[in-house]
C-alpha cells in the first residue's frame, strides 16, 4: 500500500519505509548522507518509481508472486 501511493506524506508507516530505504540507498552508495538518501527515497515513493522497481524485482525473482500483487492492486488500488 505504501509503495503503491496509498499512504500519504506524514504517515508514520510511510516515513518508516522511507527511512529504511534511505539506509539502503546509502549502503548502495547512491547517496553520501542520510538527508540526501531520505530525499531520494521519498521522491521514489512519490513518483511511483519504488513501486515500479518492486514489480520488476518480483518479475525477475519469482514471476508467480506478481499475480498476488496484482490481486492486491485490484482490491486496494
**Sequential pLDDT tens for the chain (77 residues):** 899 888 888 999 999 999 999 999 999 999 999 999 999 999 999 999 999 999 999 989 887 788 888 888 888 76
**DSSP H helical ranges for 28-48:** 34-47
Please tell me whether the overall predicted TM-score, pTM, comes out greater than 0.75 for this model.
yes
From start to end of the chain, where are the E strands?
none
DSSP annotation of 8 reads P
Which residues 6+ apart lie within 8 Å of 48 measured at CB? 5
For residue 36, count CB atoms less than 10 angstroms from its CB and return exposed for 0-12, middle for 13-18, buried for 19 or more: middle
Q: For the chain, which residues make up each domain, given as ranges?
A: 12-76
What would the pLDDT profile of 12-25 be if each residue is shown by its tens digit?
999 999 999 999 99
Q: How many whole angstroms separate alpha carbon 26 and alpha carbon 36?
A: 9
Which three three-digit cell numbers place residue 17? 519505509
Amino acid at each position: 500500500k505504501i509503495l503503491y501511493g496509498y499512504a500519504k506524506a506524514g504517515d508514520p508507516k510511510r516515513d518508516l519505509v522511507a527511512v529504511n530505504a534511505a539506509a539502503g540507498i546509502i549502503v548502495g552508495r547512491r547517496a553520501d548522507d542520510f538527508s540526501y538518501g531520505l530525499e531520494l527515497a521519498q521522491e521514489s515513493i512519490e513518483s511511483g518509481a519504488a513501486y515500479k522497481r518492486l514489480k520488476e524485482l518480483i518479475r525477475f525473482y519469482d514471476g508467480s508472486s506478481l499475480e498476488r500483487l496484482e490481486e492486491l492492486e485490484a482490491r486496494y488500488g
